[in-house]
C-alpha cells in the first residue's frame, strides 16, 4: 500500500494506481477530458493536472502513477487557473455550436465547461471549419474534434482496423482516414466504436431520426419498427437508469407512443436466423463429414460491422460466411413481403425502422444486396442513443410508461433470441437448436447455457460431442463439434488468420464486430461516466431476459414454425433463399471498390 496526502487528507492506495484513481479513493473527483478509464489514457488534454509538492510542473493525474509520500493538491488556485486556461485553449478552436449540436447535453466537453465554472472564453473563436464527412453510418465533424484520440484507440488498438489515425502534426493535426479520404473510401467497418467513445460531436452516428419522423408523419406510409435484443438492456441508461436495467416492456410502449404502426421485435428474426443458420450449418457439416466437401468453419453473419470488415480484410474467405442476412434485415424482408401480403399491402407502402445498438446497420441497409423487388428491406436504422433522443423530444415520460408486449405476428421470441445481444449468444442459441434437432435431446448443460462461451472474454471456445443422434443425422455420430466465439474485430482477426492459413480447428465460429457483442455496440449509450462493470450489467440483463422466457429454444417459437408452414416452406428453402439470405462483396483492404 502507498500512503500519500491528497488535499491535506491522508490516503492509502494500492501500488500502481494513478493519481486520478487515488483521488477517487479519497472521494475527490478530478475533472478529466481525454482519458476514458479502462479504454484510453494518453495524457493529451492536461485538464486533470494536479499540483505535486516538490514538482516544478503540474502533473497529469490520469497518467502519472501515485508514489509513496506524494503530497497532492487537486484544487489549488494554481491548478484551477491552469485548468481554465487549458479549457480555454481547447475551445479556442471549437465551433461552440452547442445549441445546434447532436451532442448538446450529452457532451463531455460541454459538461466540463460547467464543471470548471467557465464563464468567459478569453481567446476569440478561431475554429477552422473542416469539411464534414458523412458516410452511411458515421458522420465526422473534424472541427469539433478535441484530439483526445479515444477513437484512434478504439479503431486501431481495440478493433485493429486502423481506418482512422492521427494525421499531420502540431496544430494541423487531425484524426481522419489516410490523405483526407472519406470514411466510405477506406476500410472502415462502420462499427461505430469510435462514435461510442468520442467525448464530443466530432464522431457521431449518421442521423436517421429525421427520416423516421418524416415517415411517421407521412399518412401514406405504414411505419413498422423493430428492436434488437441489446437495446432493451441499455436504453434505460439514456434516461438515467442504472446500467443493466431491463426496459423491454416500456420500450414497446414508447415506440407505440411515438406513433409506429407495428411494433415488432428483431428477436423474432433472431429465432428465424437460428433456424436458417442451423440448417446451413448442418448441411455444411453433412457435406464435409460425408466427404462431399464443404467450406468450414462456417462463420456467423449477423453482425454487419463484422461483414464489412471481412470483406475488406479477408476478401478471399467470404465462402466461410453463413449466407444468412442479419436478423433485422430478415424481419424487414418479411414485413415487406409476407406481412404486407397478409394485409393486402405492398412493399412500397411500408417504411421499416430498426432500432439497433449498432451503427453498421445504417450502412447495411443501403447495400444493394439488401433489397427485394427493388425495395430496401429496411429504410432507417436508429441507434439506441437516437431512440433515446426521439423519446425525449416527443415528450414521453419513459420511466413512467406502462409495460406492453410487441405486436404479433413478428413480435414473439424465445430466450434464444435475446442472447443474440451478447458475445457467445448466437452460438449458444444455435447449439441449443442444432443439438436438439440432431439428438432429440436438450443441450446437455447447465440451464441451457454453454458456460465456456459465456462471459466477456474476447475469444472463447467450446467442444460439443454428438452421440446417439437421430438416424437422419447419422453423419454426426461421435463427432465433436468445435466452436469458437470472438467479439471485436481485432479478436476476429486472430481466428481469421487461422482460417486463412487453413489451420482453423473449428467447425463453427461466431463473430460479433463489437467487443463483447451488441450490448457494447457502436450505437449504445456511451460508456463515459458509466460504472466500470457496465458491460457485465448489460450482459446480465440479457441473460435475465432469456431466463425469464417460457420458451428458450428458437425451434420452439410457434410463430416461427407457423411462418415456415404458411409461407417460407423449410429452412434454407427457395423462399428463404430469396428473402433471408444474401451474398458478399470483395472490397479489398483499401476499399478499392470506391473510386476516390
Partner 1 sequence: MKTTVNHVSGCTGTEEELLQRVRQLASGYKDKEGSLIQVLHMVQSVYGYLPLTVQQIVAEELGLPLSTVAGVVSFYSFFATTPRGRHTIRVCMGTACYVRGGVSIVESLEKQLGIQAGGTTADGVFTFEIARCIGSCGLAPAMTIDDTVYPEVKAADLPSILEPWYCGGK
Partner 2 sequence: MRNAIIKSPSDLAALRDAIRTQASTYKFTVYICGGAGCVSSRCDKVAEALRAAVDSAGLSNDVRLVVTGCIGLCAHGPCMVVDPDGVFYGDLTPEKAWSIADRHLRGGELVQELCYFDTDRGEYLPYMKDIGFFSEQVKIALRNCGRVDFSSLEDVVAHDGYFALAKVLTDLGRERTAQELIDAGLRGRGGAGFPTGVKWQSGMNQPGDQKYIICNADEGDPGAFMDRSVLEGDPHSVIEALAIGGYVIGANKGYVYVRAEYPLAVDRLGKALDDARAAGLLGSDILGAGFDFDIEIRIGAGAFVCGEETALINSIEGKRGEPRQKPPFPFQSGLWGCPTIINNVETLANVPAIILNGAGWFASYGVGKSRGTKVFALAGDIVNSGIIEIPMGMTLRTIIFGMGGGMKGGRAFKAVQSGGPSGGCLTVAHLDVSVDYESLSAMGAIMGSGGLIAMDENTCLVDTARFFMEFVQDESCGHCVPCRSGTKRMLELLLKITSGRGAPEDLEELQELAVIVGQTAMCGLGQTAPNPVLTTLRYFKDEYLAHVVDKQCPAHVCKALRIYAIDPDKCRGCAACAAKCPAGAISGVIRQPHSINTDKCVKCGVCSDACKFDAVVC
* Of residues 487-516, those binding partner 2 (CB under 8 A): none
43 binding partner 1? (CB under 8 A): no
Minimal distance, residue 250 CB to ligand FES, in Å:
35
CA distances from 512 to 154, 194, 548 (A): 15, 16, 24
Grid coordinates in use for 203? 464522431
Task: By CB under 6 A, tell whether 422 contacts ligand SF4.
Answer: no
Q: Can residue 200 be called a binding residue for ligand FES (CB under 6 A)? A: no
User: In whole angstroms, what is the distance from residue 396 CA to residue 388 CA?
Assistant: 10
Closest distance of CB 62 from ligand FES, Å: 3
Kind of pairing between the strands at 380-383 and 350-356: parallel
Q: 106: which 3 cell numbers?
A: 450529452
Footprint of partner 1 on 156-215 (CB under 8 A): 156, 161-169, 176-179, 181, 186-187
65 forms beta bridges with 18
Q: Does 200 sit near ligand SF4 (CB under 6 A)?
A: yes
User: Considering just the CA atoms, what is the radius of gyration of the chain in Å?
Assistant: 25
What positions carry a catalytic annotation?
A: 277, 280, 302, 322, 361, 364, 369, 518
When the beta carbons of 436 and 545 are compared against ligand SF4, the nearer one is 545
Size of the site for ligand SF4 (CB under 6 A): 56
The binder of ligand SF4 chosen from 188, 279, 347, 539 (CB under 6 A): 188
In the range 38-67, which residues lie near partner 2 by CB under 8 A? 42-47, 49, 56-58, 60, 63-65
How many residues appear in the chain?
Answer: 596
- The interface region with ligand SF4, picked from 187-195, 286-294, 393-401, 456-464 by CB under 6 A, is 187-195
- Rounded to a whole number of angstroms, the minimum distance from the CB of residue 33 to partner 2 is 9
Among 13, 19, 46, 424, binds ligand FES (CB under 6 A): 46
Residue 92 interacts with which of ligand SF4, partner 2, ligand FES, none, CB < 5 to 8 Å by class? partner 2
Kindly identify the residues of this chain, within the stretch 49-68, that bind ligand FES according to CB under 6 A.
60, 62
Nearer to partner 1, 153 or 582 (CB): 153
> Taking CB within 5 to 8 Å according to partner kind, which of ligand FES, partner 1, partner 2, none is near residue 48?
ligand FES
CB neighbours (10 Å) of residue 442?
12
Question: CB under 8 Å, gap of 24 or more: what pairs does 543-548 form?
Answer: 543/418, 543/419, 543/422, 543/449, 543/454, 544/246, 545/229, 545/232, 545/233, 545/246, 545/248, 545/415, 545/418, 546/415, 546/416, 546/418, 546/419, 547/415, 547/447, 548/415
What are the start-end ranges of the E strands in 220-365? 222-227, 262-265, 298-299, 350-356
The answer to whether 149 contacts ligand FES (rule: CB under 6 A) is: no
Q: Please report where in the chains the cell 438492456 appears, as a residue.
A: 233
String of b and e for 158-174 (b: at least 16 CB within 10 Å)? Answer: bbbbbbbeeeeeeeeeb
Question: Do the beta carbons of residue 328 and residue 205 sit within 8 Å?
Answer: no
Residues that bind ligand SF4 (CB under 6 A): 94-99, 101, 103-104, 107, 109-110, 138, 144-151, 154-155, 159, 161, 163-164, 175, 188-194, 197-203, 303-306, 357-358, 360, 512-514, 517-518, 521-522
Amino acid at each position: 500500500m502507498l500512503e500519500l496526502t491528497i488535499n491535506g487528507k491522508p490516503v492509502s492506495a494500492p501500488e500502481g494506481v494513478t493519481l486520478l484513481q487515488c483521488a477517487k479513493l479519497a472521494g475527490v473527483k478530478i475533472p478529466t477530458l481525454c482519458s476514458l478509464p479502462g479504454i484510453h489514457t494518453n495524457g493529451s488534454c492536461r485538464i486533470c493536472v494536479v499540483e505535486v509538492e516538490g514538482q516544478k510542473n503540474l502533473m497529469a493525474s490520469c497518467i502519472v502513477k501515485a508514489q509513496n509520500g506524494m503530497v497532492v493538491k487537486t484544487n489549488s488556485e494554481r491548478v484551477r487557473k491552469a485548468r481554465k486556461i487549458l479549457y480555454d485553449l481547447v475551445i479556442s478552436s471549437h465551433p461552440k455550436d452547442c445549441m445546434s449540436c447532436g451532442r448538446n447535453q450529452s457532451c463531455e466537453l460541454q459538461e466540463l465547461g460547467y464543471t470548471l465554472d467557465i464563464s468567459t472564453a478569453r481567446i476569440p473563436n478561431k475554429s477552422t471549419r473542416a469539411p464534414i464527412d458523412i458516410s452511411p453510418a458515421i458522420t465526422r465533424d473534424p472541427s469539433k474534434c478535441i484530439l483526445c484520440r479515444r477513437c484512434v484507440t478504439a479503431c486501431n488498438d481495440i478493433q485493429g482496423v486502423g481506418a482512422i489515425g492521427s494525421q499531420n502534426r502540431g496544430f494541423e493535426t487531425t484524426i481522419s482516414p489516410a490523405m483526407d479520404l472519406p470514411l466510405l473510401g477506406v476500410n472502415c467497418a462502420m462499427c461505430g466504436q469510435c462514435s461510442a467513445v468520442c467525448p464530443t460531436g466530432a464522431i457521431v452516428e449518421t442521423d436517421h431520426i429525421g427520416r423516421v419522423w418524416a415517415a411517421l408523419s407521412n399518412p401514406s406510409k405504414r411505419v413498422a419498427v423493430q428492436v434488437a435484443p441489446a437495446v432493451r438492456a441499455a436504453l434505460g441508461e439514456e434516461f438515467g437508469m442504472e446500467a443493466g436495467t431491463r426496459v423491454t416492456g416500456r420500450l414497446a410502449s414508447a415506440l407505440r407512443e411515438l406513433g409506429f404502426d407495428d411494433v415488432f421485435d428483431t428477436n423474432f428474426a433472431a429465432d428465424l436466423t437460428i433456424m436458417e443458420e442451423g440448417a446451413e450449418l448442418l448441411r455444411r457439416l453433412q457435406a464435409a463429414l460425408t466427404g462431399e466437401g464443404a467450406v468450414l468453419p462456417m462463420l456467423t453473419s449477423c453482425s454487419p460491422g463484422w461483414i464489412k470488415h471481412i470483406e475488406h480484410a479477408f476478401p478471399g474467405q467470404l465462402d466461410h460466411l453463413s449466407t444468412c442476412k442479419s436478423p433485422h434485415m430478415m424481419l424487414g424482408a418479411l414485413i415487406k413481403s409476407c406481412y404486407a401480403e397478409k394485409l393486402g399491402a405492398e412493399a412500397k407502402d411500408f417504411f421499416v425502422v430498426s432500432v439497433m445498438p449498432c451503427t453498421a446497420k445504417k450502412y447495411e441497409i443501403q447495400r444493394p444486396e439488401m433489397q427485394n423487388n427493388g425495395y430496401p428491406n429496411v429504410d432507417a436504422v436508429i441507434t439506441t442513443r437516437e431512440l433515446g433522443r426521439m423519446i425525449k423530444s416527443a415528450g414521453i415520460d419513459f420511466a413512467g410508461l406502462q409495460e406492453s408486449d410487441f405486436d404479433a405476428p413478428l413480435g414473439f421470441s424465445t430466450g434464444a433470441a435475446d442472447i443474440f445481444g451478447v458475445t457467445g449468444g448466437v452460438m449458444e442459441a444455435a447449439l441449443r437448436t442444432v443439438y436438439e434437432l440432431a439428438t432429440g435431446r436438450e443441450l446437455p448443460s447447465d440451464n441451457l447455457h454453454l458456460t465456456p462461451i459465456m462471459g466477456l472474454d474476447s475469444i472463447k471456445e467450446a467442444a460439443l460431442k454428438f452421440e446417439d443422434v437421430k438416424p437422419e443425422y447419422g453423419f454426426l455420430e461421435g463427432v465433436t463439434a468445435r466452436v469458437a466465439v470472438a467479439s471485436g474485430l481485432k479478436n476476429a482477426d486472430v481466428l481469421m488468420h487461422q482460417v486463412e492459413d487453413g489451420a482453423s480447428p473449428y467447425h463453427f465460429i461466431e463473430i460479433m464486430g463489437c467487443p463483447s457483442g451488441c450490448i457494447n455496440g457502436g450505437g449504445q449509450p456511451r460508456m463515459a461516466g458509466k460504472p466500470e462493470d457496465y458491460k457485465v450489467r448489460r450482459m446480465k440483463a440479457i441473460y435475465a431476459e432469456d431466463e425469464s422466457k417460457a420458451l428458450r429454444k428458437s425451434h420452439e417459437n410457434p410463430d416461427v414454425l407457423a411462418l415456415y408452414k404458411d409461407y417460407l416452406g423449410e429452412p434454407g428453402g427457395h423462399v428463404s433463399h430469396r428473402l433471408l439470405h444474401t451474398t458478399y462483396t470483395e472490397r479489398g483492404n483499401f476499399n478499392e471498390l470506391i473510386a476516390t
